[in-house]
Amino acid sequence: MTTQVKHYINGEFVVGNGSQQIAVTNPANNETIALINCATADEVHSAIASAKAAFKSWKEVPVSERARVMLRYQHLLKEHHDELATILSQETGKTFEDAKGDVWRGIEVVEHACNVASLLMGETVENVARSIDTYSYTQPLGVCAGITPFNFPAMIPLWMFPLAIACGNTFILKPSEQDPMTPQRLVELFEQAGAPKGVLQLVHGDKTAVDILLRDPAIKAISFVGSVGVGQYIYKTGTDNLKRVQAFAGAKNHCVIMPDANKQQVINNLVGASVGAAGQRCMALSVAVFVGAAKEWLPELKEALAKVRPGLWNDPQAGYGPVISPAAKQRVLKLIQQGKDEGADCLLDGSDFSLEGHESGNWIGPTLFDKVTTEMSIYKEEIFGPVLCCMEAETLEEAIELVNNSPYGNGTSIFTASGAAARKYQHEIEVGQVGINVPIPVPLPFFSFTGWKGSFYGDQHAYGKQAVRFYTETKTITARWFESDIGTGPNMSIHLK
């Protein structure tokens, strides 16, 4: 049965009038499971106008009432957790356990948004000058928008709109057209939580919708997660149109393995962090740097990877599912072939993997390369597939230099039993998120997601305190109250007396 995906505009779910239609397919067999009528320009402008009108009243809602909406919302998300994970699995191909993790990491951000009152507190200093007090308020910006990717259709939208709305803004969500049913269900539950009409809008579509959001003067801030090229375009276009922009782009995450690390822990973590979710994570470990004698563990790593079997979302034995689309599969296969052609040693080749009964799906088996160099395409490009590239370094200093020379700085990890080595690594590495014996160091929501260098364009990062600053403006008040009508004469200086 094919589902008709709906927009959510001005508090109504509508199919939309767009003549351009996009098919949503099941990555396991490429059968169409849903259809999108791309939002027309008029429909996007209508969503913006509705959000702008709703902002006038929503910003006046007491912060405690906004927090209660989030409390009700997180309760509904937990109540429908498995349902959301099922929808997510069917449109992304993720295994059910992985999909549940996607949903749960989003719920954690909503829980953080429930604490919005304390996050919005300003500052006060009494008697900054004689009988003069200064204090600040944190106030919402207005209409904000989010453009989200296919790989985390629950978590990343939930990074954005709950905090933005809890801060007093209204929000327009434009999710990936490849898996729009999960975001639609998130919006349905948000409506059930009691959010007023117009506070949240949902528009589906392509670049046409994105460009309107980037250029319309009513939009004050744009959040984006996606590829490098699109991230650069979003950042430049948005800032050229005088908007705040946070654009999370590409990654090439390195894991440095010291010879004193626990070998089995290293192997287990490398396998899960490299091919889990079919490698379609911006925080996936795609490069393993073995220092010194640790390179001798490669045969055991190969053996462990070879045991991982891709499969259907509801197969509890499946290690991961298919990649998202035939185009994504062809891109990964092309890079695997380039790795071979450019001289890397392909120890494990998943190019020909096919799942019996689902041969038309976007399947790629675990793939392992050794002897990878920095000049190779498989090193320079973000593969976004179940491919792990292995490199060697003689010393920790050499490994640090290798990682720091990468143009990306999303995440990195070191596995070691040495506190001194870990301290040196975390201090000297030029990457925003560092794991010590932790393969994917995505921080919990009371911290912020802090990619560096070519992995991020903007100033304030996602969720945590930085997101609150991103979605708000600070107003500073300097006040004096006179006890009598007698003045002291004009003050001709800027100095407060």
Q: In sequence order, what DSSP letters do the residues of 44-100 get, joined into one string?
A: HHHHHHHHHHHHHHHTTS-HHHHHHHHHHHHHHHHHTHHHHHHHHHHHH---HHHHH
| CA–CA separation, 59 and 57 (whole Å) | 6
E-assigned strand segments in 349-432? 367-370, 387-393, 408-409, 411-415
- Cα dihedral sign for 205, 208, 212, 213? positive
Question: Which of the following is catalytic: 282, 346, 389, 390?
Answer: 282
- Cα dihedral sign for 266, 272, 278, 281? negative
| CA–CA separation, 456 and 436 (whole Å) | 22
Characterize the bridge pairing of strands 132-140 and 472-480. Answer: antiparallel
Exposure string over 82-113, b if 16+ CB within 10 A, otherwise e:
eebbbbbbbbbbbbbebbbbbbbbbbbbbbbb
Classified as helix, coil or strand, 225 is strand
At a CB cut-off of 8 Å and minimum separation 6, what does 216 contact? Answer: 45, 48
Please name the helix (run of DSSP H) or strand (run of DSSP E) that holds residue 181, with its range, or none. helix 181-192
> Is 172 in contact with 205 (CB distance < 8 Å)?
no
282 is catalytic: yes
- Burial tier of 128 (Cβ tally within 10 Å: 0-12, 13-18, 19+): middle
Exposure string over 416-425, b if 16+ CB within 10 A, otherwise e:
beeeebbebb
Which residues have a catalytic role annotated? 282
